[in-house]
Amino acid sequence: MFFSNVKQFPAVIDGRIEIVPFLEASKGVVQFVDLLGSVFIPVKSDINGNIEKLYKIYHSNEEKFLALNDIVAYEMNNTDPKVGIDALLWLKRALEYVHVFLTCLVNDSKEEQYSDNLVPFFNKAYEEKLKPYHGWFVQKIFGLIVHAAPSRKSLLHLLAGENSTATESDVIKETEDFLQSLGNNIDVINDLYRANNLDNTDKV
C-alpha cells in the first residue's frame, strides 16, 4: 500500500522536529500529489521547491541545523530575507492542504458515505489552508486543477497499489496512521510560528 512505502513523519521530541526525517517524509507527500495526476504539477513543484530550499540551508551547516527549530531560531536573529522561515511556512501550508483532504477521505469512509466525487474535499482543503494566501490568479488555477482530480474509486485503487489484495478498510487505516504523524508535525510547526509571530499572511 502507498503510505507504507513512503517515509513517515518523525516523532516530535521536546517540541523539536528533525530536519532530514521531516523533509524525507515531505517527499512522500510529493509522491502522493503525483498520484493525483499531471494537472497537480504546480502543487508538486511548489512543495519540491520548498523542500529543496530547506535542504540547502541544512547542508550549509549540518551540525548547526539539526532541527527545523534551529533554522527558525537562526533566521530570526541573523538573516533577511527569511528564506528558511518562508519555505517552511509554505511547505507547512501544503502539508495542511493534503492533511485536510485525506482527513475528509477517511471520515467519508468511516461514516459510510463513500462519495465518489472528491472535488468537495479538495475545495474544503483549499478554502481552509491555501486560499487565504493566494491572489485571484492563483485561486483560478486551483479552481481548474481540482476538477481534474481522480474519483474516490480511482484514488483508493492507487493507494492500495497495483495487484494489491488490500481492502478499502486497510487503505483507510494506513492513511489514518500517516495522518497522525503528519498532524503532530504540523501542530508543532504551527505552535513554533505562533510563538514567534511568524505566520505571514501576505498573498501570492
Number of domains in the chain: 1
pLDDT at site 204: 82
Determine the average pLDDT of the residues in 193-199. Answer: 94
- pLDDT-derived band at 15 (thresholds 50, 70, 90) equals very high
Q: What is the pLDDT of residue 129?
A: 96
pLDDT of residue 181 exceeding 90:
yes
Which pLDDT belongs to residue 143? 87
Asked if residue 132 is part of any domain, the answer here is yes
At 79, the pLDDT band (50, 70, 90 cuts) reads confident
- The CATH number of residue 58's host domain is 1.10.3520.10
8 belongs to a structural domain: no
Q: What percent of the chain has pLDDT over 90?
A: 87
Give a yes or no: residue 6 inside a domain.
no
CA 122 – CA 174 distance, rounded (Å):
20
Residue 87 pLDDT: 98
**Maximum C-alpha span of the chain:** 53
100 within domain boundaries = yes
Structure confidence by residue, pLDDT tens digits, 101-150: 999 999 999 999 999 999 999 999 999 999 999 989 989 988 888 889 99
In this prediction, residue 201 carries a pLDDT of: 82
Q: Which contacts qualify for 34-41: CB closer than 8 Å, 24 or more apart?
A: 35/2, 35/150, 35/155, 35/158, 35/159, 36/149, 36/150, 36/155, 37/148, 37/149, 37/150, 39/144, 39/145, 39/148, 39/149, 40/145, 40/149
- At 181, list the grid cell: 504523524
Q: Is residue 11 part of a domain?
A: no
| Domain ranges, residue 75 | 19-195
Is 201 part of a structural domain of the chain? no
pLDDT > 70: percent of the chain: 100
User: What integer pLDDT is reported at residue 28 of this predicted model?
Assistant: 98
In a domain, 204, yes or no: no
Residue 200 has pLDDT above 90, yes or no: no
